[in-house]
Chain A
Amino acid sequence: MQRATLDLWVGIFVVAGIAAILFLALRVGNMGSYDSASTYTVKASFENIGGLKVRAPIKSAGVVVGRVSEIGFDSTMYEASVSLKLDTRYKFPKDSSASIMTSGLLGEQYIALEAGGEEKMLEEGDTLKITQGAVVLENLIGQFLYNKSEGEVKPPALR
């Protein structure tokens, strides 16, 4: 096949395009950080997940150890059922507890995983028993106001 300078330019163009997509994938995006690593999935049900989203990080001691893979509603228990995809490099005891936290005042929500004391480790398909849902700001303020007014006037009818 004949080679022309035209082919060279087109070759450079295509290689630059592939390089740009690789740059977007590896440097800008998060390909290769979690999707490629092998994972195991455990479930947890929460009373209230607040603003938790799919792909939210799961942190233990502040280190990201996995991501939320699925959020559903359990219509028998009326609770949110959340699937946690954890990196196989990190093992946690069976009685570990999960709670939903917020990073910063207005930041995104994540699941904090606290290791328990049991000797058996979590496996694929296990369910976390001890969970704590998200703190809803309105409830907190309501409770605070209620306590405050209670301290001042003490409505006896409610007791």
Chain B
Amino acid sequence: MNGLLDSLRGIGARVIDSIWRMGVATRFFLMTLLQSGQSFRRFHLIIREIYSAGVLSLIIILVSGLFVGMVLGLQGYETLQTYGSEEALGVLVSLSLVRELGPVVAALLFASRAGSAITAEIGLMKATEQLAAMEMMAVDPVARVVAPRFWGAVISMPILAALFSAMGILGGYLVGVVLIGVDEGAFWSQMQAAVDFREDVLNGVLKSVVFGVAVTAIALFEGYDAPPTAEGVSRATTRTVVTSSLAILALDFILTAFMFRGV
């Protein structure tokens, strides 16, 4: 009886704790948004964060985009060939990249490449009491450290997703047209007939912006909230990758349900 009560208590405490954390995270997110005006006035801080979140993620994004596109080209060709419609390969590759794979896979890579780095950096800053030192000097760490990282990553994310999609389509072109020999004119013209700029491309960009906000907000909060120990920082980094991956996939479902419900 006592054991049952204890486990019930444990569940209750965990639920209350996670709701509490949610509230703190929301307050932290709003504080970041409120302080962003200041960080836009010192734009060089944001530039530096675009460099560390965006430019340094370029290689992994470009290479994986190319390979994802090449695999799509191969697999799509295999399947389409059985229906005798290899020319639709361009449509298949471009629509799946622009609508889904570009934003989602780029965001997953971004979460593990840049999100984890942000969490580890801020967690370590907290552990080594750099954030406390800033507060002592009357510098708001949210304005000086958090907000520039937020905007740097949010600006980088759609650019990375667009580059991922573009590279993927080039990869599909390489495999489909250059290697296998699908007709080049049909590849591009069917693609152009099927992909709509507003419906597909802009919705994909919008998706990647939403993912960027989600990943960065999670990474920043996990870092800021990490227990100031080596173990705490490592746990927070892991949690960033897990939580933001789940958030990306869940958000993707919701956004897709809104955007592409058919006409």
Contact = CB atoms under 8 A, between A and B. Distances in A.
Specify whether A and B are partners. Answer: yes
A25 B192 CA distance: 9
B166 A24 contact: yes
Given A10-B50, A10-B55, A29 B166 contact: no
A7 interface: yes
Interface in A36-93: 53-55, 57
B123 interface: no
Contact of A35 (B48, B165, B197, B200): B197
A28 B159 contact: no
B153 interface: no
A20 B54 contact: no
Contacts of B55: 9-10, 12-13
Given A13-B54, A16-B159, A21-B201, A53 B166 contact: no
B47 A31 contact: no
B94 interface: yes
B166 A7 contact: no
A55 B263 contact: yes
A17 B162 contact: yes
B240 to A, nearest CB: 23
Contact of B166 (A9, A14, A23, A30): A23
A6 interface: yes
Given A6-B51, A16-B159, A20-B163, A28 B201 contact: yes
Interface residues of B, number: 29
- Identify whether the interface residues of A are mostly helix, strand, loop, or mixed: helix
Nearest to B58: A13
A139 interface: no
A81 B158 CA distance: 39
A28 B192 CA distance: 5
B107 interface: no
B233 interface: no
Contacts of B197: 24-25, 29-31, 35
B211 to A, nearest CB: 15
Contacts of A13: 50-51, 54-55, 58, 156, 159
A38 B8 CA distance: 68
B193 A28 contact: no
Nearest to A54: B263
A14 B159 contact: yes
B60 to A, nearest CB: 14
Contacts of A55: 196, 263
Given A13-B50, A27-B188, A21 B196 contact: no
Contact of B98 (A6, A28, A54): A28
Interface in B180-230: 188, 191-193, 195-197, 200-201, 205
B177 interface: no
B48 to A, nearest CB: 6
A19 B125 CA distance: 36
Contact of A21 (B51, B162, B188, B263): B162
B11 to A, nearest CB: 46
Contact of A17 (B94, B163, B191, B201): B163
A32 B235 CA distance: 50
Contacts of B51: 6, 9-10, 13
Given A23-B169, A24-B162, 10 more contacts: A6-B47, A14-B50, A14-B159, A17-B163, A20-B159, A27-B188, A28-B192, A29-B195, A53-B263, A55-B263
Interface of B: 47-48, 50-51, 54-55, 58, 94, 98, 156, 158-160, 162-163, 165-166, 169, 188, 191-193, 195-197, 200-201, 205, 263
In the A-B complex, the 7 residue pairs with the smallest Cβ-Cβ separation, listed nearest first, are: A17-B159, A31-B197, A20-B166, A20-B162, A29-B197, A29-B195, A20-B163
